[in-house]
Every structure is written in structure tokens, then in C-alpha cells.
Amino acid sequence: MVDAWQAAVEAQIRSAQERGEFDNLPGMGRPIPGRDLPYDESWWIKSFLEREALPTDLLLPTPLQLRRRVEQVPDEVRDLPTEESVREFVGVLNREIVAWLRFPSGPRVVVRPVDTEAVLRAWRAHRAARQARATAPPAPPIRSRRRWRWPWRRT
């Protein structure tokens, strides 16, 4: 039974080769990617993340994702236009942190809600510094003194 099945499969492959269905396939003549590398159990996860261009942060457990987001708060709020939008951003993150604190899962990692007022102070300071740079008068151009070598020629 197995021999008959194998023979039928081999016959189909041979007839497809004769018709040229395997000619000009993508990757033909190139080595198989990763063939010389040691076996990795999570190869399919890594290839999926690369193929779909997804960040590897998605693989982290929830508390580590939250810690990373807390660390990135100053960069995230820097370009927000209003205090209300900064408060909204920090409020959403704090609600997610509190929800995780109520029902923790994953490794035990200390994650505390973000201090909204401290973030606002930093945001205001950055915004004031950016406005001061924008309104500062431009520096006068530096003119180099030219030396006279000959009375009729400047260098």
C-alpha cells in the first residue's frame, strides 16, 4: 500500500518536472537560508516577526512591557501638543498598570504608576527650552579677517 502510494507520488513529480512546472521557481539555485546554522526551536517565531516587521517587545511578559513603556514616557510625550494630551497619554498608561496590579500575571516585576505631574514638569521644561531656541536671535555671522599679501591681491 505504501509502495503504491510512493510510486504514484513519484510519478506525479516526474510528470511535473517534464512539463517544466519546477523551472524558474523563486530561490532556485540559492542555498536554503539558515541551513548552516544550529537548530533553533523558535525559528518560526523569529521568521514571523521578521516577515511581518513586528517589534520583539511583543514577546515580553506584560510587566516587562509596562516597564519598558514607563521608561519611554518622556520620549513619547515630548512632541504632544497640549497638557491635556500628555495627561491623557499618562492616564491611559496608568490605567493599564493598575489593571495589571489588580490581576498580576507573569514574573514579579515592580511596576508603579507614572507620576503625571512629574511628566508634565519635564514636558513644560522641554517645551520652554524648545521655544527659547526658536525665538533666540540668530548669532551674527563670524567674518574672518583677510590678510593682505600684495597690494593688488587678497587671500
pLDDT for 153 equals 58
What one-letter code names the amino acid at 94? N
Question: Measured at the alpha carbon of residue 49, what is the angle toward residues 43 and 55, in degrees to the nearest 5?
Answer: 135
Tens digit of each residue's pLDDT (9 = 90 or more) over 4-13? 888 899 999 9
Burial class (CB in 10 A: 0-12, 13-18, 19+), 43: exposed
pLDDT for 15 equals 94
Per-residue pLDDT for 137 more than 60? yes
Q: Cβ atoms within 10 A of the Cβ of 66, count?
A: 22
Per-residue pLDDT for 115 more than 90? yes
pLDDT for 4 equals 85
Per-residue pLDDT for 152 more than 70? no
Find all residues with CB under 8 Å of 155, minimum gap 6, and list them: 146, 147, 149
Query: Where is average pLDDT lowest: 41-45, 110-114, 119-123, 147-151?
Result: 147-151
Burial class (CB in 10 A: 0-12, 13-18, 19+), 38: exposed
Per-residue pLDDT for 155 more than 60? no
Q: What is the mean pLDDT of residues 54-80?
A: 91
Tens digit of each residue's pLDDT (9 = 90 or more) over 17-50? 899 888 888 888 888 877 888 888 888 888 888 8
What one-letter code names the amino acid at 56? T
CA 150 to mean position of chain CA atoms? 61
Cross-strand partners of 153: 150
The Cα 114–Cα 67 span in angstroms is 10
